[in-house]
Amino acid sequence: MAFPLTSVYTASKPTIFLPTTLISFLLLYSGIFAYAQIETMSIGAIIDDNTRTGKEVNAAIKVAAQNFNSSSMYHRVSLHFHNPGGNRLQAAYAAEELIKENNVQAIIGMETWEEAALVAEVGNRAQVPIVSFASVILPQPLTPPRWPFLVQMATNVTEQIRCIMEIVCSFNWRKVIAIYEADYHGTDSGMFATLSDSLHDHGVEIEYRLVLPPFFSLSDPKGFVSENVAELLSKQSRVFIVLQISSSMAAHLFRQAKQMRLIGRDSAWIITDPFASLLDSVNTSVISSMEGALGIKTYFVEDSRSFLDFRRQFRRVFRSDYPEEDNSEMGIHALRAYDSLTTIANAINRAGSSSNGSTTLLKSILSSNFTSLSGDIRFHRGELAGSSLYRIVNVVGKRYKELGFWSSTIGFSKSLVNEESDQKTRGDSMDTLASLVSWPGDLKRTPRGWSMPSDAKPMKIGVPGKTTFQKFVKVDWNSSLNEWSFSGFCIDVFYEALKILEQSYPLPHEFVPYNGTYNDLVDHVANQTFDVVIGDVTILANRSKYVEFTQPYAESSLSMIVTVKSEHGKAWIFLKPFTTEMWAVTAAILLYTVFIVWLLERQSNPEFAGPWQNQLGTSLWFTFTSLFFAQRERVHNSYTRVVVVVWLFVVLVLSSSYTASFSSMLTVQRQESNITDIEWLKKNNAPVGCGINSFIKLYLQNVLKFDSRNIKRVSSEYDYPTEFESGNITAAFVELPYAKAFMNHFCKGYTVATPTDGDVHRFGGFGFVFQKGSPIVKDVSQAILTLSENGRLEQLETQWFTPSPKCLNSQTPDKIDSLSFQSFWGLYLFSAFISTICYLLFATHQSYKGDITLNYSTMLNKLSGLVKYFHIIVRKLHGTTPNTVQPLGVYECNSSCTEYTSSSETPEQSQAPTSIEVKVTNPDEERRVPL
């Protein structure tokens, strides 16, 4: 086209030259003017490209600068790179050099928080925005005031720590080991402290932490890592959490762990970002040594057009700059590096010019709100805002597979869901993804996360060597076999539980006798000297702080053993069948019946006539002989017969009850002790005994407030009788199982008394002791419950604690209680009620027959007189009749019967009257009433 155009110009059309030349000149002028208007932005980059992460960040920044420069008409980016080599002081010097010599408008990079903090100090003085890729856990109110020009292009790792915690809790792992590679100054950006607090709040303990120095600082990384990883073999936990680590250090760590069999059955490994995001670029030999590991990767969209374009550009630049790297895949840090430079460039575009000032640029950066490759770019208090979404991945073979997702809002999910999605596809537990996990060693169940016993390393079980009651645990030296022998109820219970456990997995073990106290024995489990303790160890609160107990296989409470004496030969034992209250009420109902019978029979029965002494004697004799059904007097009154029938029924019940109770007391050897009161023992400073290794002594001192000088240690159950007989102890305090064992052997002369201090002193029972976090505890507890439910535990108790023949033949109730009024009050009330009703009916009947013509007031006066007369008789029997009491004689009353007169005879001069003469104001109605 140019050639024809030139030909036309030179030959036939010279008029075209002027317009063409003019257009060319205008285009050239406009290009020169536009170039003169482009503003160059100097951006500093402090990146350690000795690491894989640094290399990816370096390549990503270059791609971002190329894309921006090709798309922007008015701004260009000029990059100035510095490599601090992992040294935070070098990073600070690099920042000062970039600001002074290169006059940069912003600085990006700094993968560690220590580098970012120092560079931020430099940026504050120079008022230059600093964009850091480092994740750190700091209180939000602290960061903006101290480093106002610092912008954190990373989410807070607190969410990732929470994800780790939920994974650990989902699988019921109680102990973990934390591993991280420290920075140049040995810190971890606060991740370990946050993890420790989070796990502690949920009952999970960090058993050990392995801190590795920076990889570049080691002259022999393989030897150093091998030596430190070997220390993990002595730890019980097999759940390893790798918080932060470089790919170079991770390669040595996992290879050594694989060789030492720390990666295998019943072990679990959890790796976090940023290393998890490097799985795509890690060597396949390293991946194969991470079999079964769970990873937490920050999620980003991989199928968008912008991402695909970036990945193509990134691979080209990365392969060009780092040809030694085999893999050109990238992680989240590369995307955030790209977004960091894009954020600064966009901020300058919005600000119009970098010359408007660094404060304006900083505000423009912090006001960013757009979606880029790594996700939403928004800032809050200088930190990337919004919750992160994480991928949960699982290493299988030489690659990894994606299990699902986790975020603080949706929990665990098999697919991407929002908060309104079906609850069945998500949750706070890893159970929704557990079935998809491929565990180390092709394990089909969840790893126990614990160092399980093996033939090479059997479970070391401590057994009490010196026990007070040897039926529970007995340790003997077998000279013929040249080994220790172990027997007893506790040993048999453990073996029975072991039979159930070995149906699922083997538990190689060895018993080791220990001759210290029980508290020392428990402490040896806490410090991992023993894996387990088998024996009669009581579950106590202070012990449970450091170890774990199984389900109790024997109940436990405080019991008091005291001496007793037989009651045979006591002179007043015949009174024992009834209580004192019972005797008193029986006497009262007897006298009341005597009185009613006398009232009913005195008029019509000649045997109840005569002087009052004869009447009283006859009535008493009649009633008393009825106790033995031997009464001879006949009764004439029908009401009396009813009273007597009811009374005889009462007598029948009482005599039968008395006979039965008294026979039991005579035929059963009753043994009682007067010492049942703890307060009495303390008040009288009585000496008491307890086991030599028992915690009971401290309990007596601290809880029951016994004087320590009055507490004597007894080394064997066979020494208790000697201590009692010599008077060295008055009572022995032991736990309930020991008391049963003692009484099965020493049944005569001793009893288990129930303390009368009002409190029930219960303990947690006997249980086996395991280390904190041991998964075997749960299995053993379930086995003990199985033994209890199928009756095997009861069979073992019968086998070991069957009473001796002498005790078996003499087993009787400890005490036969006397019969009390509470058992007979209804019968007594019925008798008194019938007697009273009969008399009232009799009195009413006599009134209606016309034998006595009295109004209601007269009847009450007559009853009052009878009561007074009976009162005189009773007091006369006691010799206390006062002279002022007037005897019954002839009483006169007016029409209202409120005043009475009597004869002037004194009690000494008069005989008991046989009648009462009632005089009424009306002389026509005067009548003598016979008594």
> For the chain, what is the total number of helices (H) and then of strands (E)?
30, 35
Give 846-908 as a 3 state SS string.
HHHCCCCCCCHHHHHHHHHHHHHHHHHHHHHHCCCCCCCCCCCCEEECCCCCCCCECCCCCCC
d(CA 243, CA 254): 14
User: pLDDT tens, 314-329?
Assistant: 999 999 988 888 888 8
Distance spanning both ends of the chain, measured CA to CA: 166
Which helix (H) or strand (E) covers residue 734, if one does? strand 731-735
Give the three-class secondary structure for 348. Answer: helix
DSSP-derived letter for residue 120 is H
Under 8 Å between Cβ of 673 and 815 = no
Contact 338, 317 (CB under 8 A): no
Q: What is the mean pLDDT of residues 181-193?
A: 72
695 pLDDT above the threshold of 60: yes
Question: Partners of 426 in the beta sheet?
Answer: 413
The CA distance from 249 to 179, in Å, is 11
Asked whether the beta carbons of 473 and 485 are under 8 A apart, the reply is no
Do the beta carbons of residue 117 and residue 139 sit within 8 Å?
Answer: no
- 475 falls in which pLDDT band (50, 70, 90)? very high
Which is nearest to 658 in space by CA: 604, 586, 751? 586
For residue 873, what pLDDT is reported? Answer: 58
> What is residue 466's predicted lDDT score, i.e. its pLDDT?
86
**594-626 per-position pLDDT tens digit:** 777 777 776 666 665 556 566 666 666 666 666
H or E element, residue 777: helix 776-789
Single-letter code of the amino acid located at 620: L
Q: What is the mean pLDDT of residues 473-493?
A: 90
Q: How far is CA 291 from CA 227, 396, 594, 856, in A?
A: 22, 6, 101, 109
pLDDT at 883 over 50: no
List the single range of 464-468, 553-557, 912-916 with lowest mean pLDDT. 912-916
Question: Looking at residue 432, what is its pLDDT?
Answer: 83
Q: How far apart are CA 365 and CA 354, in angstroms?
A: 12
Query: What distance in Å separates the CA atoms of residue 660 and residue 664, rounded to the nearest whole number?
Result: 6
Residue whose entry in the numeric block shows the structure tokens 């008069």: 910
Model confidence pLDDT, tens digit, residues 430-459? 888 888 899 988 888 889 889 888 888 899
Contact 846, 858 (CB under 8 A): no
Q: Are strands 239-242 and 175-181 parallel, antiparallel or unpaired?
A: parallel
Instruction: Answer with the residue of higher pLDDT: 821 or 72.
Output: 72
What gap in Å lies between CA 752 and CA 739, rounded to an integer?
7
- Give me the mean pLDDT over the 876-903 stretch: 45
Residue predicted with more confidence, 846 or 97: 97
In this structure, are residues 756 and 673 in contact, taking their beta carbons and an 8 Å threshold? no
For 711, phi then psi, to 5°, come to: -110, 125
Spell out the residues 6+ positions from residue 489 whose beta carbon is closer than 8 angstroms to its own. 471, 472, 473, 796, 797, 800, 801
Distance CA 844, CA 832 (A): 18
| Pairing outcome for strands 915-919 and 927-930 | antiparallel
Query: Tokens representing 64?
Result: 């971002």
Q: What's the mean pLDDT when you consider all of the chain? A: 78
Can you list the positions of beta strands (E) in 34-154? 39-46, 75-82, 106-109, 130-132, 150-152
The C-alpha torsion from 916 through 920 and 923 to 924, rounded to 10°, is -80
Please compute the mean of the pLDDT values over residues 636-659 and round it to a whole number: 75
Q: Which amino acid is at 471?
A: K
Max alpha carbon distance in the chain (Å)?
189
The whole-number pLDDT of residue 911 equals: 45
Instruction: Please give the pLDDT value at position 533.
Output: 95
pLDDT digits (tens, 9 = 90+) for 899-921: 444 443 444 444 444 444 444 44
Closest CA relative to residue 332, chosen from 57, 51, 45 = 57
CA dist., res. 738 & res. 51, Å (int): 67
Helix (H, G, I), strand (E, B) or coil at 655: helix
What is the average pLDDT across 479-498? 91
The dihedral of CA 369, 373, 379, 382: what is its sign? negative
Q: Give the global pTM.
A: 0.68
Report d(CA 308, CA 302) in Å as an integer: 7
Is 485 in contact with 476 (CB distance < 8 Å)? yes
Question: How much is the average pLDDT of 182-202?
Answer: 79
Distances (CA, A) of 181 to 212, 253, 281, 474, 599: 5, 10, 19, 50, 109
pLDDT in tens, 717-766: 888 888 888 888 989 998 889 988 888 888 777 888 766 555 678 898 99
Report the C-alpha gap between 299 and 313 in whole angstroms. Answer: 21
